[in-house]
Amino acid sequence: MTTLQTAQPLPIVSMQQAGKQFGNGPGAIVALANITTEIHDGEFIALCGPSGSGKSTLLNLMAGIDYPTSGQVYLLGNDLSLLNDQQTARLRADAIGFVFQFFNLLPVLSVFDNVYYPLMLNGFSRRVAQQRVMEMLERVGLAAHYQRIPSELSGGQQQRVAIARALVKRPRLVVADEPTGNLDSRTGQEIIDLLLTMNQQLKTTFVISTHSLALRDQAKRVLEIRDGKLEYDSVSV
């Protein structure tokens, strides 16, 4: 009798002994060393570690924003070292959404246009995109404010717009770099709740760097880095 093998789902991100060094020679900084890990569909991961431990660098490698200087990073099965910049940019535009600590909204654009922006870059007309933008603003609780500009919103509201912008193209993975780092703890908790809800409702995968113990407690998986090394993974792959 033959044994049927269960097909392993392709990870969204696979890192094999990935490292990142900035500069060369005696002044070189080893930001990451020998990171081996996988990210799978549906995960909600808190990436923890002190300032300077390599969290942002790791998120940048996972998202194909930056390249490893040793080892391999595979994004949706593609070895990033074999793609040119344009191919990597295409993959990123299709598959990855970003959320930042300081929101990074475009200040002169309305809430609607900030969320529409990634769809515009992917070739959607404003008319075709309208329903998707408004549905996403509905999900983050900001549909009523679609005509405002970012400076007319609170910090928490601006981060909700940024989350809508990250999610509107339905990416496989959202990386968020300290998304509650610029918010008071109550507003931060509201943002954590929203990210958890989006993970449940849309099945979007999240990797979120954070100093928040609340987020660490509520994440399905915790990764901890220290001095560029992966010290702990609550779900060892």
Our finding on whether 231 is near ligand ADP (CB under 6 A) is no
- Of the pair 114, 210, the CB lying nearest ligand ADP is at 210
Minimum CB separation from ligand ADP for residue 195, in Å? 18
Our finding on whether 210 is near Mg ion (CB under 5 A) is no
Find the binder of ligand ADP among 10, 42, 52, 126 (CB under 6 A): 52
Our finding on whether 54 is near ligand ADP (CB under 6 A) is yes
Find the binder of ligand ADP among 15, 39, 45, 57 (CB under 6 A): 57
Our finding on whether 180 is near Mg ion (CB under 5 A) is no
Our finding on whether 19 is near ligand ADP (CB under 6 A) is no
- SS3 letters for the chain? CCCCCCCCCCCCEEEEEEEEEECCHHHCEEEEEEEEEEECCCCEEEEECCCCCCHHHHHHHHCCCCCCCEEEEEECCEEHHHCCHHHHHHHHHHHEEEECCCCCCCCCCCHHHHHHHHHHHCCCCHHHHHHHHHHHHHHCCCHHHCCCCHHHCCHHHHHHHHHHHHHCCCCCEEEEECCCCCCCHHHHHHHHHHHHHHHHHHCCEEEEEECCHHHHHHCCEEEEEECCEEEEECCCC
Our finding on whether 56 is near Mg ion (CB under 5 A) is yes
- Of the pair 211, 220, the CB lying nearest ligand ADP is at 211
Residue ranges in contact with ligand ADP by CB under 6 A: 22, 29, 31, 49, 51-57
